[in-house]
C-alpha cells in the first residue's frame, strides 16, 4: 500500500530550533501534495496558531490540522472545526494543588486566555528580573503570551472550558513518577525537559489522526507520522510508518518504525526520500 497521508508534529519536528522550516522540507512536502498525499499538522498548539504554516506548505485545499494534542480537528478546505474532550475548573484546581505541593508552575490553556498558578514569591521574583533586565518576564513563556490571568489560589474558578493543563519546572523529569501516579485519571506527557502536559483521558494526537484518516478512507498502513516527544507517541504508534526524529526522546525512538535525522538536519526530507517508493507507489 502507498502512503496517502503525512502527519507532522511542529516543535522539534517540522520546525527547526528557531521556529523556521527547512526550504528542502517545504519543497518536498509540496511535491507530496502534488502526488495526492494529504498533509496533516499535529501539534500541542491551537489550530489557529498554525494557519500561517498551512499557507507556507500550500495546504489550504486538502490539508488538516490536529490541534491541542488531538482535542481539536480543522479541515482547511471548508474551515470546519471539531472540539472534543475539554477539562474544567475542578481539573485545574486538582493540578494546581499539585503545583503548590511540589513548588511547580501551573498553566491552564483556554481558547480565551491563559491562567497561571504559582506561589507568590515566583511572581515577585519575575517582577524583580523584569525590572533589572528591562523586559517583561512572564511565568512559563518569557513574555510571549498575552491576556494572561494569575490566580491567587489553586481553587480559584476558571469559567471557560480548559483545553489542556501544564506543569512546568526544572524538576519535572525528576518528579515524573510521583506526578504520573497522582495524575492517573488523565493522559500525561512530557514534551520537554521542563514541560508536562495533561489532557483528558483518551484525548491524543493518535486518536485525532485516526479520525482524519477515517474521514478520508485512509488506513493505518497508509499513514506516515513524524514526532519527537511523548505527546507524539500515540500517533507514532497508530501509523505503520511512525518516524521518530533524531532529536526525539528515547521512548519515542524505541516505539518508532524508523528513526530519521534531527530536525536541524532535514530529518523529514531525508525520511521521505528514504521511503519514496512507498510514497509514490500507485
Reading the chain (282 residues) residue by residue, the pLDDT tens digits are 699 999 999 999 999 999 999 999 999 999 999 999 999 999 999 999 999 999 999 999 999 999 999 999 999 999 999 999 999 999 999 999 999 999 999 999 999 899 999 887 555 545 544 444 554 445 444 444 556 888 989 999 999 999 999 999 999 999 999 999 999 999 999 988 899 999 999 999 999 999 999 999 999 999 999 999 999 999 999 999 999 999 999 999 999 999 999 999 999 999 999 999 888 654
φ and ψ of 197, to 5 deg: -105, 140
128 CB-near residues (< 8 Å, 6+ apart): none
CA dihedral (223, 228, 232, 233) positive or negative: positive
Query: What are 127's three cell numbers?
Result: 517582577
**CB-side exposure of 150: number of CA atoms within 13 Å?**
13
Torsion, Cα of 83, 89, 90, 93 (10° steps): 130
- C-alpha–C-alpha distance, residues 6 and 35, integer Å: 12
What pTM did the predictor assign? 0.89
Q: How far apart (Å, rounded) are the C-alpha atoms in residues 77 and 221?
A: 25
How many CA atoms within 13 Å lie on the side-chain side of 159?
A: 2
Strands (E) in 206-268, as ranges, are 223-227, 241-244, 258-259
CB atoms within 10 A of CB 254: 12
Q: Where are the extended beta strands (E) located within the chain? A: 5-8, 38-42, 64-67, 72-75, 81-83, 105-109, 114-117, 148-150, 164-168, 186-192, 195-200, 223-227, 241-244, 258-259
Q: Are 61 and 79 in contact (CB under 8 A)?
A: no
Q: What residues does 197 pair with on adjacent strands?
A: 166, 189
Closest-CA residue to 118 (of 101, 106, 136, 135):
106
Residue 234 DSSP SS3? helix
The pLDDT of residue 130: 45
How far does CA 178 lie from the centroid of its chain?
Answer: 23
Question: What's the CA angle centered on 149, arms 194 and 203, to 5 degrees?
Answer: 55
Amino acid at each position: 500500500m502507498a502512503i496517502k497521508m503525512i502527519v507532522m508534529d511542529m516543535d522539534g519536528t517540522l520546525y527547526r530550533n528557531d521556529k523556521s522550516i527547512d526550504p528542502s522540507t517545504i519543497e518536498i512536502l509540496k511535491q507530496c501534495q502534488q502526488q495526492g498525499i494529504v498533509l496533516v499538522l499535529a501539534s500541542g498548539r491551537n489550530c489557529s496558531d498554525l494557519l500561517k504554516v498551512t499557507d507556507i506548505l500550500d495546504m489550504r485545499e486538502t490539508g488538516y490540522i490536529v490541534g491541542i494534542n488531538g482535542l481539536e480537528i480543522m479541515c482547511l478546505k471548508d474551515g470546519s472545526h471539531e472540539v472534543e474532550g475539554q477539562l474544567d475548573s475542578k481539573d485545574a484546581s486538582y493540578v494546581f494543588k499539585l503545583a503548590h505541593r511540589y513548588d511547580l508552575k501551573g498553566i491552564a490553556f483556554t481558547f480565551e486566555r491563559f491562567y497561571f498558578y504559582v506561589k507568590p514569591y515566583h511572581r515577585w521574583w519575575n517582577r524583580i528580573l523584569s525590572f533589572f533586565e528591562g523586559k517583561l518576564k512572564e511565568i512559563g513563556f518569557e513574555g510571549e503570551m498575552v491576556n494572561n490571568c494569575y490566580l491567587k489560589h489553586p481553587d480559584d474558578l476558571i469559567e471557560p472550558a480548559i483545553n489542556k493543563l501544564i506543569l512546568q519546572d526544572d524538576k519535572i523529569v525528576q518528579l515524573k513518577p510521583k506526578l504520573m501516579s497522582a495524575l492517573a485519571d488523565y493522559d500525561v506527557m512530557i514534551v520537554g525537559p521542563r514541560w508536562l502536559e495533561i489532557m483528558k483521558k483518551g484525548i491524543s494526537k493518535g486518536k485525532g489522526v485516526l479520525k482524519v484518516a477515517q474521514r478520508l478512507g485512509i488506513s493505518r498502513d497508509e499513514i506516515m507520522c513524524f514526532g519527537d516527544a511523548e505527546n507524539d507517541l500515540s500517533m507514532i504508534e497508530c501509523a505503520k510508518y511512525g518516524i521518530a526524529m533524531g532529536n526525539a526522546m528515547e521512548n519515542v525512538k524505541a516505539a518508532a518504525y524508523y528513526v530519521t535525522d534531527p530536525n536541524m538536519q532535514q530529518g523529514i526530507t531525508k525520511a521521505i526520500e528514504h521511503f519514496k517508493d512507498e510514497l509514490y507507489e500507485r
